[in-house]
Amino acid sequence: MSSVVDKIWATLEPLTDPEIPVVTLRELGILRDVRQTPAGIEVVITPTYSGCPAMGQIEDDVRASLEQAGIEARVITQLAPAWTTDWMSDEAKEKLRAYGIAPPHRTCGSGAGEVSVLKFVRRQPTEAVACPQCGSTHTVVTSEFGSTACKALYKCLDCQEPFDYFKPY
Ligand SMILES: [Zn+2]
């Protein structure tokens, strides 16, 4: 019974993000789960953020792959818990860097568990983002929106290369 689940993971393994062809949906944490339910097999995906224009494409890709492999499964888009860049594997972050996109820092959205006294202490608003080309942290943000809304545009002041930074959230 679980062999079908394994087969689905194997089938979907090569699927990559439509915007970042070097990382797979599994590595990004977009492909959440493959589960056997009384109603049949469900493949669970979570968009990187609601309204991400790539999501329809991702869903289509997943469906097409399943169909090609002759697998009957429903594709479920699950919005909660919301995707965060923490779900991205270290492997994926490394691939992003190699591709020229600075990977996200750990999310700073840990405010929920924090004591309210700390709320006046502002976190460092912008951590230094290392240039994926030369590793320099001597970088500046040039636009809050890069090639897609998920990314900010940065420029390295050392090698002068512009690059995308995958924003953490
Ligand atoms: Zn650089």
Taking only the tens place, the pLDDT of each residue in 99-131 is 999 998 865 444 443 333 444 444 445 568 999
Which two structure tokens, joined as six digits, stand for 59? 């869903």
φ, ψ of residue 117 in degrees (nearest 5) = -55, -30
Higher local confidence (pLDDT), 149 or 63 = 63
- The reported pTM is 0.73
The Cα-based distances of 105 to 17, 51, 88, 135, 168 in angstroms read 19, 22, 11, 14, 6
Q: Where are the alpha helices (DSSP H) in the chain?
A: 2-12, 25-28, 55-68, 90-99
The answer to whether the beta carbons of residues 87 and 54 sit under 8 Å apart is no
Amino acid at the residue 15: L
Ligand 1 centroid to residue 156 C-alpha, Å: 5
Ligand 1 centroid to residue 153 C-alpha, Å: 13
